[in-house]
Amino acid sequence: MGALSAGGELNLILSIIILSIAAILGDTVNYHIGKYIGPKIFNKESSRLFNKKTFN
């Protein structure tokens, strides 16, 4: 995207705005996914990824 903006194919300011919005939305969506799924994974007794015996 930077090369296209530098070559004049894309508007630099518009690219910065779009990338900033995408970063903020991506962070927010990932936070809410983790907030929903995280407790289910960590509180499960027989989780393959997070086995409680491994952390003791």
In a domain, 17, yes or no: no
In a domain, 40, yes or no: yes
In a domain, 41, yes or no: yes
Mean pLDDT to the nearest integer, 26-49? 85
With the C-alpha atoms ordered 46, 47, 53, 56, is the resulting torsion angle positive or negative? Answer: negative
Question: What pLDDT, on the 0 to 100 scale, is given for residue 54?
Answer: 66
Does the pTM of the predicted model rise above 0.75? no
Number of domains present in the structure of the chain? 1
In a domain, 28, yes or no: yes
Question: What pLDDT, on the 0 to 100 scale, is given for residue 55?
Answer: 62
40 by Cβ neighbours in 10 Å (0-12 / 13-18 / 19+) ranks as exposed
In a domain, 15, yes or no: no
Question: What pLDDT, on the 0 to 100 scale, is given for residue 43?
Answer: 77
Mean pLDDT of the chain: 83
Whether the per-residue pLDDT at 30 is higher than 90: the answer is yes
Residue 28 confidence class, pLDDT cut points 50, 70, 90 = very high
- 28: containing domain: 23-56
In a domain, 8, yes or no: no
